[in-house]
Each structure stands twice: as structure tokens, then as C-alpha cells.
Amino acid sequence: MLAEPLDRMFLALADPLRRGMVEHLSSGPATVKQLAAPSGMRLPSAVKHLKVLEVGGIVVSQKVGRTRTFRIKPDALRTIADWARNREAAWNSAFDRLAAAMLEAPEVEIEP
């Protein structure tokens, strides 16, 4: 897995306002105005945050007339889920090896 796309995704999701936008979009597409409203954000600031999410590969946008609508990119968070699953598998394997080594180690008495 390439680190760069994953890095962009984590960077995009590092900001709580952007995570809030992703939460909002999880229920369906929304305009910039709709995404800016819950946090009281001005439209230019919202556009900047949405651009980070778009560069991060998390959202896509479509412009019709003067209205830009954003939606979550299909399978966008799968990259993060796959990364987390791989880390979990590696950790579990390491713990399994540690447990096996502990079982093979000679017993040591601990005196109070």
C-alpha cells in the first residue's frame, strides 16, 4: 500500500471540522453551504476544508450552475480500514509469537 494516499487521508481527517463534514456527508450529498452551516463556518473556509478532503481522496464534488455538491467517494475509507486491518494482523502475530515464547521459557520462581 502506498503511504502517500494514506498520508493524505489521515491529514484530511486530522481536523475535527473536516471529520464533521465527512459525518454530515455519510447521510448523503450536501452543498458547501449545507456543510458550512453546522459549524458557522464562512463559505471560503468551508471550500478550503473540502478541497483538503477532495485531495485526500475522501470526497468528490460536482458543480451544477453556481452550486457545488459534495459526496463521499465510494470506498474512500477502505484504504484506512485495510491499513488498520493489516496493522491488527501484524500485532496479533507478534503477540502470538510472544505468547509461544513465554510458554517455552523455563519457569522462574518469584520470591516475595
pTM for the complete prediction?
0.73
Do the domain assignments include residue 107? no
The whole domain housing 21 covers 1-102
Residue 111 lies in a domain: no
Per-residue pLDDT of the chain (112 residues; tens, 9 = 90+): 457 888 999 999 999 999 999 999 999 999 999 999 999 999 999 999 999 999 999 999 999 999 999 999 988 888 888 888 887 766 766 666 777 677 777 776 777 6
Contact in structure between 5 and 13 (CB atoms under 8 Å): no
Q: Residue 23 burial by CB count (10 A; 0-12/13-18/19+): exposed, middle or buried?
A: exposed
Residue 99 is inside which H or E element, if any?
Answer: helix 78-104
Whether residue 112 lies inside any domain: the answer is: no
CA distance 70 to 53: 10
Supply the CATH number for residue 31's domain.
Answer: 1.10.10.10
Number of domains in the chain: 1
pLDDT of the residue at 34: 97
Q: Which residue has the cell 476544508?
A: 49
